[in-house]
Amino acid sequence: MTAESPKNERADRYNAREAEARWQKVWDAAQIFATKNDDPRPKYYVLEMFPYPSGRIHMGHVRNYTMGDVVARFKRAMGNAVLHPMGWDAFGMPAENAAMAQKVHPKAWTYSNIAAMKKQLQSMGLSLDWAREVATCDPSYYKHQQKLFLDFQKAGLVAREYRKVNWDPVDQTVLANEQVIDGRGWRSGALVEQRDLYQWVFKISDYSQELLEALDTLDRWPDKVRLMQKNWIGRSEGLLVRFMLDPATTPNKESELEIFTTRPDTLFGAKFMAIAPDHPLAQAAAKTNPKLAAFIEECKHLGTSQAAIDTAEKLGFDTGIRATHPFDPSWKLPVYVANFILMDYGTGAIFGCPAHDQRDLDFVNKYGLGNTPVVLPPNTDPKTFVVTDVAYDGDGTMFNSKNGVIDLNGMTPQKAFDAVANLLAGTTRGNRPVAQRQVNYRLRDWGISRQRYWGCPIPVIHCDKCGVVPVPDKDLPVKLPEDVTFDKPGNPLDRNPAFTNVKCPSCGGDARRETDTMDTFVDSSWYFIRFTDPWNEQSATTPAIANKWMPVDQYIGGIEHAILHLLYSRFFTRGMKKCGYVGIDEPFAGLFTQGMVVHETYRTKGGEWVEPSNVKIEGLGDARTATLLKTGEPIEIGSIEKMSKSKKNTVDPDDIIAAYGADTARWFMLSDSPPDRDVIWTEEGVQGAWRFVQRLWRLVGEIANVSAPAAKPATFGEQALTVRKAAHRALAAVSDDIGKLRFNRCVAHIYECANALSDAIGHIETAPTPDLAFALREAGDILVRLFHPMMPHLAEECWASLGHKSLVATEAWPELEPALLVETSVTLPVQINGKKRGDVTVPRDAGKDEIEAAVLALDAVQKELAGRRPKKIIIVPQRIVNVVV
């Protein structure tokens, strides 16, 4: 497991380190990856999710950017004007944490990280247009974001709400619902508390239905991501129903309780009502009922404890209030406060039908309220059907559902839903219908206020006289002050009078500047549009140019952004369209989510994690043992996990590039594992990739030594034809698979091609015949262009050694001779009753009669038939023959 340095220096080997630096300089000098906005060729926009400048790139970046680079280089060779930019998602908490820990200013920290990481990315040989580089923390970027905020505000997409928010006590900031994972902050891991604060929000929920429907148009997105977004938006259709309350039992003047239900068909099975602990009716009832007040207080605590949520016992408290059933004035239902009812979904109140809802059933079983089934499962006897511990939520036929007001018996639940909805919608009480149909979404508005320094300032001013006043355009950007301190928790902007004390733009009086900054997900919700014209100082975009390049044709990044970043970006693009910045709704036409880079973990008997470079592995399979390199102390080999600093199972891209070169790292990243699955990083695998780099170099060297006729020979001999077929077969296969991002198969095809060429050269006794020489040179030219997207430096070196004066990076993709893929004869496997018993070789276009004759002539078939006639012969042309006897 020691990273033995390959001997790059030997003269007979390809010196990756030297060659890679050299070609990177050549590319840079020739400016071949700079993209012009007036390029007339068909556009192709390929983008990888831009990195957070943490300081160093990791293997996940290497994998992500290698994939994007393969696509970019391939599309360039295919004749597209390719836009392939890179930038920095540069605002965020780590910069402030570093400021606190290391006494370095977030700006200095961020920019030095950017410089370091840029150098690392450049060492990978990525074909990026660095002239378009943006950093979201730069005023030249966030100036436009502030203008976008104000434009969104004018367009009604921004609101300021007094909101119950998720407060991260460690990071001292508000988190969006999406940023709370299992009750903990997504970054700090701290238990999240509930607090009430004024929050700026983007009204993403205005687009719930549109964001949901448009998912169907994203046919080049993974189904998985579309489904995750669909579930996140969480549409449900139901009925809002107003229940009358028994006046004698209500604590205040409330005469009604409005509930939301998706199952009005089960109203005859109702046994109770339940309201959220923070429902106004519950609050009112608690005023005169100390026990209820205590219960409500208890619910609040339960909500924040992770363990309590997991065990999730359904608890309730009878308020004493009674509600009247809408179908029967004499039917009274008890109203409970229940800990499993959420105030922010529906109306914060439900009716409970225990027979057909598991939660409700658990609840009545605890409080002895009983249940009445009203949906009869198919093929079930109504006399014997009972519900005890398991609620029935399937389809069936309505029963037990009839009185003088309505008769649902015999209907399907769907029909019953409509019957109930129609009846109650047509019944009025106090000039309003008793019920109305309603669609609910799980998706909440996007709270963007963050009490942090290192973010984009929200460009508004608070004036006692004029209220909230937008910063005038001429005063943009609202720049972050640089003289800030991080010696105390909380937002440094709050204690910066030079920043906060301003004059009201409206009345000129003393006013206070907003100190909240924007969630960094705002920064990344439009950077892909900014890349189209990052030079525009006046506006976030130049619409004609944005419309030329957008949408992104291929977006590549991690699955962890399946909901947050991608949903916000879809919303933001719609907002920008509404404000006239772009003409499209969907920012990403094609999406690919790549797998993680994982590695075995190692730890001492004492439980301490050990870095792979310190471990020596011996043996095979289950018998593998590991010891500490220095001391020989035994090490436990742990599970394979995502590379992470905490488990010390990381491999530094810099070390790999220094030892083997970028091409080896790139090739290994693309080999073996399908790109959407995890790839296991192994030292053996990297060495295998490095050996192949050397092998290609030797192979091309041998081909370069072949002197071939300038003109294409009129005919090719068998050997030459074999070589040509191998090259063109690989060409066809790689072209197809690269377009589908199946890089692991591309790698296999390139191996096959190289194997075939090595084989052909190995069989040459003295000098190749002219036709073979020509075929080898042709195949060499094809092979080099085929692996160029994956290993661009090696490809340049090989291309030059083959005598070409051009750069392979600017060469067109090889042209396929389809005739070479067509075989003149085919060998068909012959099965008898589905088992292979031989094969026949027939002309490619042989008719069924001809094939049948050849098959029947086979010894194996003759023997099996023993004179009988076959029952049936199935002939699939150019595929297989099956004889049924």
Q: Which residues between 569 and 628 bind RNA (CB under 7 A)?
A: 620-621
CA separation for the pair 72, 66 (Å, rounded): 10
- The candidate with the shortest Cα–Cα distance to 359, out of 329, 336, 382, is 336
Q: For residue 151, state whether it binds RNA (rule: CB under 7 A).
A: no
We find the least distance from the C-beta atom of residue 236 to RNA, in angstroms, to be 4
3-state secondary structure at position 457: strand
Which range touches RNA (CB under 7 A), out of 192-200, 339-347, 498-506, 522-530?
A: 339-347
We find the least distance from the C-beta atom of residue 338 to RNA, in angstroms, to be 8
What is the length of the chain? 885
Q: Which is nearer to RNA, 84 or 647 (CB)?
A: 647
Tokens read off for 770: 């002219």
Q: Which is nearer to RNA, 236 or 500 (CB)?
A: 236
We find the least distance from the C-beta atom of residue 828 to RNA, in angstroms, to be 8
- Which residues in 743-770 are b (16+ Cβ under 10 Å) and which e? bbbbbbbbeebbebbeebbeeeeeebeb
What residues between 51 and 110 interact with RNA by CB under 7 A? none
x/- mask, RNA, residues 522-561, rule CB under 7 A, reads: -------------------------------------x--
Q: For residue 359, state whether it binds RNA (rule: CB under 7 A).
A: yes
CA 526 and chain centroid, separation? 17
Q: For residue 341, state whether it binds RNA (rule: CB under 7 A).
A: yes
We find the least distance from the C-beta atom of residue 733 to RNA, in angstroms, to be 10
Q: Which is nearer to RNA, 339 or 554 (CB)?
A: 339
Whether the CB-CB separation of 468 and 460 falls below 8 Å is answered with yes
What residues between 757 and 796 interact with RNA by CB under 7 A? 758-759, 762
Helix (H) or strand (E) holding 503: strand 501-503
Q: Which is nearer to RNA, 533 or 600 (CB)?
A: 600
Which amino acid, one-letter code, is at 632? G
Tokens read off for 610: 């050990």
- Total binding residues toward RNA, as defined by CB under 7 A: 86
Tokens read off for 525: 């919700």
Q: Which is nearer to RNA, 177 or 539 (CB)?
A: 177
User: In sequence order, what E strands does 643-743 have?
Assistant: 679-680
We find the least distance from the C-beta atom of residue 343 to RNA, in angstroms, to be 7
Whether the CB-CB separation of 385 and 372 falls below 8 Å is answered with no
Q: For residue 836, state whether it binds RNA (rule: CB under 7 A).
A: yes
Q: Which is nearer to RNA, 29 or 390 (CB)?
A: 390
Q: Which is nearer to RNA, 238 or 551 (CB)?
A: 238
x/- mask, RNA, residues 203-242, rule CB under 7 A, reads: --------------------xx--xx--xx-x-x-x----
Q: Which is nearer to RNA, 628 or 680 (CB)?
A: 680
Distances, alpha carbon 765 to alpha carbons 395, 699, 716, 761, in Å: 77, 17, 18, 9
What residues between 721 and 760 interact with RNA by CB under 7 A? 742, 744-745, 747-748, 751-752, 755, 758-759
We find the least distance from the C-beta atom of residue 873 to RNA, in angstroms, to be 9
Which range touches RNA (CB under 7 A), out of 57-65, 261-269, 290-298, 767-775?
A: 261-269
Question: Which burial class, exposed, middle or buried, applies to 83 when counting CB atoms under 10 A from its CB (0-12, 13-18, 19+)?
Answer: buried
CA separation for the pair 619, 614 (Å, rounded): 17
Strand bridging mode 272-275 / 328-338: parallel
x/- mask, RNA, residues 837-856, rule CB under 7 A, reads: x-x-----------------
Q: Which is nearer to RNA, 116 or 885 (CB)?
A: 885
The alpha-carbon radius of gyration of the chain (Å, integer) is 35
Q: Which is nearer to RNA, 116 or 706 (CB)?
A: 706
- From the list 21, 658, 680, 820, which residue makes contact with RNA (rule: CB under 7 A)? 680
Q: For residue 882, state whether it binds RNA (rule: CB under 7 A).
A: yes
- From the list 148, 273, 276, 659, which residue makes contact with RNA (rule: CB under 7 A)? 276
CA separation for the pair 482, 468 (Å, rounded): 25
Tokens read off for 440: 């609910």
Q: Which is nearer to RNA, 100 or 748 (CB)?
A: 748
We find the least distance from the C-beta atom of residue 537 to RNA, in angstroms, to be 39
Q: For residue 181, state whether it binds RNA (rule: CB under 7 A).
A: yes
Place of tokens 């090259």: 727
Q: For residue 408, state whether it binds RNA (rule: CB under 7 A).
A: no
The set of long-range contacts for 873-879, using a CB threshold of 8 Å and a minimum separation of 24, is 875/848, 875/851, 877/848, 877/851, 878/826, 878/828, 878/844, 879/828
Q: Prior bond to 543 cis, omega within 30? A: no
Q: Which is nearer to RNA, 12 or 38 (CB)?
A: 12
Q: For residue 122, state whether it binds RNA (rule: CB under 7 A).
A: no
CA separation for the pair 225, 590 (Å, rounded): 12
CA separation for the pair 324, 338 (Å, rounded): 19
Torsion 164-165-167-172 (CA) sign: negative
- From the list 810, 833, 841, 862, which residue makes contact with RNA (rule: CB under 7 A)? 833
Strand bridging mode 501-503 / 510-513: antiparallel
3-state secondary structure at position 448: coil
- From the list 43, 75, 314, 777, which residue makes contact with RNA (rule: CB under 7 A)? 314
Place of tokens 């191996």: 751
- The candidate with the shortest Cα–Cα distance to 66, out of 782, 651, 663, is 663
Tokens read off for 526: 């439009």
Triad 174, 180, 186: Cα angle to 5° = 90
We find the least distance from the C-beta atom of residue 671 to RNA, in angstroms, to be 6
Q: For residue 644, state whether it binds RNA (rule: CB under 7 A).
A: no
Q: For residue 865, state whether it binds RNA (rule: CB under 7 A).
A: no
The two most distant CA atoms of the chain are separated, in Å, by 110
Q: Which is nearer to RNA, 12 or 483 (CB)?
A: 12
Q: Which is nearer to RNA, 133 or 362 (CB)?
A: 362
We find the least distance from the C-beta atom of residue 178 to RNA, in angstroms, to be 8
Q: For residue 439, state whether it binds RNA (rule: CB under 7 A).
A: no
Q: For residue 684, state whether it binds RNA (rule: CB under 7 A).
A: yes
Q: Which is nearer to RNA, 343 or 584 (CB)?
A: 343
Q: For residue 821, state whether it binds RNA (rule: CB under 7 A).
A: no
Which range touches RNA (CB under 7 A), out of 526-534, 581-589, 647-655, 665-673?
A: 665-673
- From the list 358, 539, 614, 801, which residue makes contact with RNA (rule: CB under 7 A)? 358
Helix (H) or strand (E) holding 839: strand 835-843
